[in-house]
Structure 1
Amino acid sequence: MDTAHKAETFRELHRREGAFLIPNPWDVGSARLLEMAGFKALATSSAGHAFSIGKPDNGVGFEAMMRHLADVASATALPVSADLENGYGDTPEAVVRTVRAAAEAGVVGGSIEDATGRPDAPLYPVEVAAERIRAAAEAARSLPFPFTLTARAENYLVGQADLADTIRRLQAYQEAGADVLFAPGLRSLDDIATLVRSVDRPVNVIMGIAGVDLTLADLAAAGVKRVSLGGSLARAAYGALLRATRELQQHGSFGYAADAVPMREINEMFRQYPGQR
């Protein structure tokens, strides 16, 4: 499937009734396993990829991240949307560069967040953030395929759990041209439903949050269109690794192997991957 076809397929997922899951692989192997599991689209995880190369979240630079996007996008027949963090720069020009580079890497969508990465001022002023989204949207519209732009309001992830300001920000990003709106960190179904009612674009929420007991059906009933998982799948895999290492170190036993996927099974899954792209 070429990039244009992937892009149209991804757009169509947002037009269908109900909500869809968009899980987050962290490397080529996890992307292919998720494709074989039957999901319809994938989204990269900046945190998951950073962990896979031994770095903390937000520790991967622009060039390295673009190479990662190209690796994942070329490894699967599914549409891939990219976690583009804050656009790898403060200015609208930096965001434009990032959107164009991501498209060249083969992804068909991407998210831009309004977090600065600075503890003293963790969020861009809403006017500045909206201008960055406007520039990203203009860059997306100039591409030869429909690039689905997601705008993220990071209030809850930077310790500013203010639903009213989150909604105000997402409304501004909607007006600036975002195709999808995303407020990671929302935990309450009531808050999520309030957000959905306050905007007129598809809403993405993130699940895989410890202590949040919501289902895809719950979220669909609230009007959510897309549910991503962030770094939670990568953290689940690393959690299994850490539990195994503790068993080895503390007990000298090997019970972890009982939960490991059999070698023959996973080997055969990768062997049968179509075309071994």
Structure 2
Amino acid sequence: MHHGRPPGDPLVLPGPWDAVSARVFADAGFPALSTPSAGIAASLGYADGETPVDEMFAAVARIVRAVDVPVSADLENGYGLAPRELVERLLETGAVGCNLEDSHGGVIEEPRRHANRIAEVRAAAGDRLFVNARVDTFVYGDGDPERAIERAASYAAAGADCVYPIGAPADVLPVLRAGIQGPLNALARLDGESPSPGELGALGATRVTFGPWLQRRAAAHLGELAARLRQG
């Protein structure tokens, strides 16, 4: 799904936060889905980054059971699990891929350490999982595109199938695309001002995800409906 895509036609992966939203996206015709950890956290009543690991895997399993399309899961920084345990627990949910980010608690990790973790995950998973390596340079680092490219290269060399420089400005995407081999994930923000998925594709993205934006838009709409009900 990720390879051989023409410019402007990225793989668009909505982010379900529960079984109902997963079915909505699958029924709309999307070929695959990618869960957002922040969206699932909100649906379970937790702040982003505070979902207990057992509840996260259980939520992912419910989403996978609800649809007939492939599901990738955002596993944050891996929850402190050993790579083999992380892989086996994810495979038990039925998911086919994962996001792994190179920061923890707002602190970006040393790239070699994260590359080693990715290599261990790849060794444990073989070809059973699609590994998307999140690069947090633009979120918690100095925002230098060259540093992001260096990190991306080391993660790809370690076995990542895709890299995800989350928060990269749109005008930097062509620079990243020129320096990064293989699939490139970009974040689409549904704020009415940021580029659309197609525009992100034209700038170099081959995969587009939404983080918690879809869940937050749905919650905002529900809030509007609740206000109307209160007004009678």
In the superposition, the TM-score normalised over structure 2's length comes to 0.91
Distance 2:84 2:172 in 1: 32
Q: Give the deviation of 1:196 after TM superposition.
A: 1.3
Are 2:165 and 1:165 aligned?
no
Distance 2:209 2:115 in 1: 23
- Work out whether residues 132 and 164 of structure 2, in 8 Å CA contact, stay in contact via their aligned partners in 1: yes
Decide which of 176, 179, 183 is 2:161's aligned counterpart: 179
Q: Give the deviation of 1:54 after TM superposition.
A: 1.2
- Quickly say closer, same or farther: Cα 1:232–1:153, change in 2 above 3 A: same
- Quickly say closer, same or farther: Cα 1:210–1:186, change in 2 above 3 A: farther
The aligned runs of 1:206-245 (5 Å cut-off) are 206-210=187-191, 212-245=193-226
Distance 2:228 2:150 in 1: 48
- Work out whether residues 119 and 158 of structure 2, in 8 Å CA contact, stay in contact via their aligned partners in 1: yes
Structure 1 match to 2:31: 40
- Quickly say closer, same or farther: Cα 1:95–1:211, change in 2 above 3 A: farther
Bigger-Rg structure (1/2): 1
Could you tell me which runs of 5 or more consecutive residues in structure 2 were left unpaired when the two chains were aligned: none
Decide which of 37, 40, 51 is 1:49's aligned counterpart: 40
- Work out whether residues 204 and 228 of structure 1, in 8 Å CA contact, stay in contact via their aligned partners in 2: yes
- Quickly say closer, same or farther: Cα 1:110–1:71, change in 2 above 3 A: same
Decide which of 93, 97, 122 is 2:85's aligned counterpart: 97
Distance 1:77 1:180 in 2: 23
Decide which of 131, 136, 149 is 2:131's aligned counterpart: 149
Q: Give the deviation of 1:15 after TM superposition.
A: 2.2
Are 2:122 and 1:140 aligned?
no
2:31 counterpart SS class? coil
Q: Give the deviation of 1:138 after TM superposition.
A: 1.1
Structure 2 match to 1:108: 96
Distance 1:25 1:16 in 2: 26
Are 2:109 and 1:128 aligned?
no
Q: Give the deviation of 1:211 after TM superposition.
A: 6.0
Could you tell me which runs of 5 or more consecutive residues in structure 1 were left unpaired when the two chains were aligned: 1-12, 255-277
Q: Give the deviation of 1:98 after TM superposition.
A: 1.4
Aligned-residue Cα RMSD (Å) equals: 1.8
Structure 2 match to 1:81: 72
Deviations 1:47-69 (A, max 9, x none): 11111111111111111111111
For this pair of structures, how many residues does the alignment match? 229
- Work out whether residues 99 and 110 of structure 1, in 8 Å CA contact, stay in contact via their aligned partners in 2: no
| Code of the aligned partner of 1:102 | L
Q: Give the deviation of 1:116 after TM superposition.
A: 1.6
Percent of residue pairs bearing the same amino acid type:
34
- Work out whether residues 140 and 149 of structure 1, in 8 Å CA contact, stay in contact via their aligned partners in 2: no
Are 2:63 and 1:72 aligned?
yes
Distance 1:243 1:162 in 2: 40
Higher relative contact order (CA 8 A, sep 6+): 2
- Quickly say closer, same or farther: Cα 1:153–1:209, change in 2 above 3 A: farther
